[in-house]
């Protein structure tokens, strides 16, 4: 998979892309992530990527020209995504769809908003939640992390992608590790007896219980989809 990011603040990506699973995925050649500075496609001495909105109003609006020129010069043929609070909300279903793509381009919005014509360039608009952030770089990193981990070979244990939260509209069951008894807080006995059938049943029951308590909407959603 190849991911190109168009941003006004490329340094925001350096540390996160250079750590942990994202770093290993790139080192193994499983994914290539290119971060491009949109100011490289501006045309004035100040490298301005924003301007005042037509009709007046607060703040500045991100210009369409740098985005258009970047896509044209880079000759990127990919699914182009604009990160914006007006987009459809990111969920695991969308993440799975994006993980099947060979090439993605992420446009990071900024300032008061983006020129409406940038939306016309994009194939999709995605939001990570019903709240406002100062920039689109953080949502872009969230999307990258969620998608890259589903690329085959990225996770050491492929089974971990199956038994995790939001798969099959369920939250993940409780997990424990050593010690079995920590200050009186004990690991459930069923996990220590080695009976895999009983362990599997316990995990399913606990996942259902936790989902009912914390995210009953997921159960309703699952029934509708079923």
String of DSSP letters for the chain: -EEEEEES-GGGGHHHHTSHHHHHHHHTTS-EEEEEEGGGG--STT---EEPPTT--SS-EE-HHHHHHHHHHHT--SEEEEEEEEEEEP-HHHHHHHHT-SEEEEEE-BTTEE-HHHHHH-SEEEESSSS--SBSHHHHHHHHHHHHTTSTTSSS-GGGGTSSTTBTTBPPPP---S-SEETTEEPPGGGTS--HHHHHHHHHHHHHHHHHHH-HHHHHHHHHH-
Q: Which of these three, 124, 148, 172, is where a domain ends?
A: 148
Q: Residue 51 pairs with which residues in a beta bridge?
A: 61
Residue 185, domain CATH: 1.10.1270.20
What mean pLDDT do residues 194-200 have?
96
In this predicted model, what pLDDT tens digit does every residue of 27-73 receive, in sequence order? 999 999 999 999 999 988 999 999 999 999 888 999 999 999 999 99
Length of the chain: 226
Give the number of domains in the chain: 2
Same domain assignment for residues 18 and 108: yes
**Is 153 inside any structural domain?**
no
**Is 154 inside any structural domain?**
no
Q: Considering the chain, what percentage of its residues have pLDDT values greater than 90?
A: 83
Residue 64, domain CATH: 3.40.1280.10
Same domain assignment for residues 110 and 74: yes
**Is 174 inside any structural domain?**
yes
Same domain assignment for residues 174 and 211: yes
Same domain assignment for residues 69 and 177: no
Angle, in degrees to the nearest 10, between helices 216-225 and 196-214: 100
Provide the domain limits for residue 199.
163-225
Give, in order, the Cα–Cα distances in Å from 75 to each of 34, 36, 62, 78, 120.
14, 13, 22, 9, 17
Q: Which two tokens stand for residue 216?
A: 């009953």
**Is 157 inside any structural domain?**
no
The pLDDT score that the predictor gives to residue 19 is 97
pTM above 0.95, yes or no: no
Same domain assignment for residues 141 and 37: yes
Same domain assignment for residues 175 and 77: no
Rounded to an integer, what distance in angstroms lies between the CA atom of residue 148 and that of residue 21? 9
What mean pLDDT do residues 123-135 have?
94
Same domain assignment for residues 89 and 194: no
Q: Which of these three, 148, 178, 200, is where a domain ends?
A: 148
**Is residue 111 predicted with pLDDT exceeding 80?**
no
Rounded to an integer, what distance in angstroms lies between the CA atom of residue 92 and that of residue 53? 35
Q: Of 124, 115, 131, whose CA–CA distance to 147 is shortest?
A: 124
**Is 158 inside any structural domain?**
no
**Phi and psi for 127 in degrees, rounded to 5?**
-120, 150
pLDDT band at 13 (very low <50, low <70, confident <90, very high): very high
**Is 200 inside any structural domain?**
yes
**Is 8 inside any structural domain?**
yes
Same domain assignment for residues 40 and 86: yes
């Amino acid at each position: 998979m190849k991911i190109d990011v168009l941003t006004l603040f490329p340094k925001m990506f350096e540390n996160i892309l250079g750590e942990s699973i994202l770093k290993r995925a790139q080192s193994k050649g499983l994914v290539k992530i290119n971060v491009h500075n949109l100011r490289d496609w501006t045309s004035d001495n100040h490298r301005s990527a924003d301007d005042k909105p037509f009709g007046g109003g607060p703040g500045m609006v991100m210009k369409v020209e740098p985005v258009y020129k970047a896509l044209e010069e880079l000759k990127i043929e990919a699914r182009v995504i604009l990160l914006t609070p007006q987009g459809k909300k990111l969920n695991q279903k969308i993440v799975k769809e994006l993980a099947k793509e060979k090439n993605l381009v992420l446009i990071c919005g900024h300032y008061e908003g983006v020129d409406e014509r940038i939306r016309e360039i994009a194939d999709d608009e995605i939001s990570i939640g019903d709240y406002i952030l100062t920039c689109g770089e953080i949502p872009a990193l969230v999307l990258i992390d969620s998608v890259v981990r589903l690329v085959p070979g990225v996770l050491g244990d492929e089974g971990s992608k199956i038994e995790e939260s939001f798969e099959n509209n369920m939250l993940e069951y409780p997990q424990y590790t050593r010690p079995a008894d920590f200050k009186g807080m004990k690991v459930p006995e069923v996990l220590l007896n080695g009976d895999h059938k009983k362990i599997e049943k316990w995990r399913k029951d606990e996942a259902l219980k936790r989902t009912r308590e914390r995210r009953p909407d997921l159960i309703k959603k699952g029934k509708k989809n079923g």
